[in-house]
Amino acid sequence: MDGLAPIDAWAVLAILAKAAGYAAALFAMGGPLFVATFRSAPKDVLRLARQLAVGAALLGLAVLALRFGIRSARISGMGFEGAVDPMMLGLVWDSPLGTAALRRGVGELLILAVLIEGTIGLTASLLGALLVAVSYTLVGHSLGDPRWLLAGLVGVHLLAGAFWIGALAPLHRAAGRTEGAALLHRFGRIASGTVAVLVFAGLTFAWLMIGSFNGLFETAYGWTLIAKIGVATALLGLAAKNKLQLVPALSSGEPSASGRLRRSIRMEIIAVGLILLATATLTSITTPPVNL
């Protein structure tokens, strides 16, 4: 199939590591965004958001180091020997990946400040989230033309996605109580706009990468994108069901609403994982039709 790179064990590792990095970055960015937006949420919910953000930031730092080794192994063709070769690692560091990694690492370290309650800690962590988002505009398909538009779309898409994804675990906890319905309802109202931005930025970026309907159905990039869009559509359906049916049921005190809502949120988390795997595949072993 056009635009599909050879797939070996290192390519699979690259996809898994990149998906883990995406997940870590989104949860790390989402924590400060959640805390800043819902400062009046229950303390245990805010504490969970902070703890997950810190754990995700630390995981992100570890994944960064792992990705350097994997990248070095892939471009050298030397396997594990290439993964630890100082010269090859130096070449990777001097590439756009190194530039992005430096900013992402600083951003993830700043996100750790979310544990410090108050304006200073929150401001530092929000700056960290912004740096992480910017780091993704320095690598991959966002380096194409028009550069400024692609970079802007990637940054906005990531921040909007992080707001949603970072809220899932805290909302899952809030859904365990009837009084959590107010928080879930407020999130639903804000997320309506956020999701619109997320979808618009994602589809616009995808169209710029595809360029034509033929590119969508005749390339590995296109078919992987179709799979991603399919899962994303299911995710949007779950979110709509939560907002329109399950949150009102929780507000009214329906006995089964809490369990159903928490189960639906867990399904959202699974769908997010599949979307991140598809995204990692797109950026690891496929070439956009516009670049073929």
Residue 31 predicted with pLDDT over 80? yes
Residue 291 predicted with pLDDT over 90? no
Residue 260 predicted with pLDDT over 70? yes
> Does residue 244 fall inside a structural domain?
yes
> Does residue 170 fall inside a structural domain?
yes
Total domains, the chain:
1
Give the residue numbers spanning the domain of 101. Answer: 9-291
> Does residue 1 fall inside a structural domain?
no
- Across the range 147-174, mean pLDDT stands at 94
Q: What is the pTM of this model?
A: 0.93
- Across the range 207-232, mean pLDDT stands at 90
> Does residue 125 fall inside a structural domain?
yes
pLDDT band with cut points at 50, 70 and 90 for residue 85 = confident
pLDDT band with cut points at 50, 70 and 90 for residue 130 = very high
- What is the model's pLDDT at position 46? 96
> Does residue 2 fall inside a structural domain?
no
The string of pLDDT tens digits covering residues 96-125 is 888 899 999 999 999 999 999 889 999 999
- For 133-195, the three-class secondary structure string (H helix, E strand, C coil) is HHHHHHCHHHHCCCHHHHHHHHHHHHHHHHHHHHHHHHHHHHCCCHHHHHHHHHHHHHHHHHH
Q: Which residue has the tokens 């809030």?
A: 174
Q: Cβ-count burial of 190 within 10 angstroms (0-12 exposed, 13-18 middle, 19+ buried)?
A: middle
> Does residue 207 fall inside a structural domain?
yes
> Does residue 250 fall inside a structural domain?
yes
Residue 1 predicted with pLDDT over 70? no
> Does residue 4 fall inside a structural domain?
no
